[in-house]
Amino acid sequence: MASWRSLVRLRSVLCSFVVYCVYSRFRLVLAEEADSCESLGPGQYLCKDPKIDEATQEPENCRDSMAWVECLPAPNISCRLSNGTEFRFSGEEVGFNKTISCRNVSGYSYKVAVALSLFLGWLGADRFYLGYPALGLLKFCTVGFCGIGTLIDFILIAMQIVGPADGSDYIVDYYGARLTRLSISNETYRKPHLSL
């Protein structure tokens, strides 16, 4: 009877040891396979709003049409930092930086261009302001192409089709109404037409 109890006790000790070894190995494997913080999914991190420059209405750190914002992983998220160490976040620490797109602006205000086109377009003030002096002079001499050119220019400037001559973008409020041009390229998906 005593040998039976010792066998049961030995069996439970061995089972506990095996469970402990498997659990330790499982934790080690999980620690080795922790994903980097940049690969966190939606809802696992929150990125701060960029700091907006008052003059340009674009992020302060905008360089080559790209800016970065700081992202904070959610509380109790563990991930690898850029230096390779694993860290468990409380929700207050910055985990990584994410890049966002920004626009190249050089001082031409959208509101000013539209106002000049509306009120002084017949004198060519809008084209002078945007850096097209030849067209501005032509509009001035022809009184806005008898009003037709003034109307066409107002529509083109209001729709942001005509922009500054230097190729930059208008200064538009960061959270304001911006127009985005959609273009078709080889990567654009085209829905096939149904033949009846």
Q: Is the pTM of this model over 0.75?
A: no
Give me the domain span that covers residue 163. 107-171
Q: Indicate if the alpha-carbon torsion angle 146, 149, 152, 158 is positive or negative.
A: negative
SS3 71: strand
Which pair of tokens denotes residue 65?
């049409």
Asked if residues 40 and 77 have their Cβ atoms less than 8 Å apart, the reply is yes
Tell me, yes or no, whether 162 lies in a domain: yes
Tell me, yes or no, whether 149 lies in a domain: yes
Asked if residues 68 and 61 have their Cβ atoms less than 8 Å apart, the reply is yes
Distances (CA, A) of 138 to 125, 132, 149, 160, 164: 11, 10, 10, 21, 18
Domain count of the fold of the chain: 2
The per-residue pLDDT string of the chain (196 residues; one tens digit each, 9 = 90 and over) reads 556 666 567 566 556 665 565 555 444 444 445 688 888 988 899 999 999 999 999 999 998 889 999 999 999 998 888 888 888 999 899 999 999 989 889 889 999 999 999 999 999 999 999 999 999 999 999 999 999 999 999 999 999 999 999 999 999 988 877 777 777 777 777 667 666 6
Residue bearing tokens 């106002």: 115
Tell me, yes or no, whether 79 lies in a domain: yes
Q: What is the dihedral of CA 92, 93, 99, 103, to 10 degrees?
A: 50
